[in-house]
Amino acid sequence: WGCYFEYLSKWNKYADDENVMTITYEELKENPVLGVKNIAAFFGIPLTEKELQSVVERSTFQSMKKNSQKTHGEFGNVLFRKGGVSDWKNLFSEDQNEKMDKAFEEHVGGTKLGTKLKYNVYCK
């Protein structure tokens, strides 16, 4: 699947491009209505309240997981696990977390995407 930091570094080149919108899973999870509104506005798509609610309902983690076999086949089981945030706390030891923080800072800490991700992922 490649290196997460290399992936972020490549995308960071485009973070200020007016044709690129960055949004995190955590932002969408925290306020899905606002997230969908912002995405629709970015693409210049007007949504009625009914359409907005439909998109929000269909884009919940539970809804996408339920349909993942149709949309992603067996790969859906890999992509759609729990749907929560900060699960890394249950998987990483304190030492692993410190190593990840250090690697994150070294590779993308001062970048626009790194700052946005650090705020959303590590400050929860």
Q: How far apart are CA 26 and CA 61, in angstroms?
A: 12
- What domain range is 8 assigned to? 4-123
Percentage of residues in the chain with pLDDT exceeding 90? 23
What's the whole-number mean pLDDT along residues 61-70?
84
Query: Could you tell me which of 88, 93, 94, 89 has the C-alpha nearest to residue 4?
Result: 88
User: Are the beta carbons of 116 and 14 closer than 8 angstroms?
Assistant: no
Domain count, the chain: 1
> What pLDDT was estimated at residue 123?
40
Percentage of residues in the chain with pLDDT exceeding 70? 93
pTM assigned to the model: 0.73
Say how many C-beta atoms besides its own lie within 10 A of residue 42's C-beta.
Answer: 13
CATH of the domain at 21: 3.40.50.300
pLDDT category at 81 given cuts 50, 70, 90 is: confident
pLDDT category at 119 given cuts 50, 70, 90 is: low
Written as six digits, the tokens of 109 are: 């800490």
What's the whole-number mean pLDDT along residues 11-25?
87
pLDDT category at 41 given cuts 50, 70, 90 is: very high
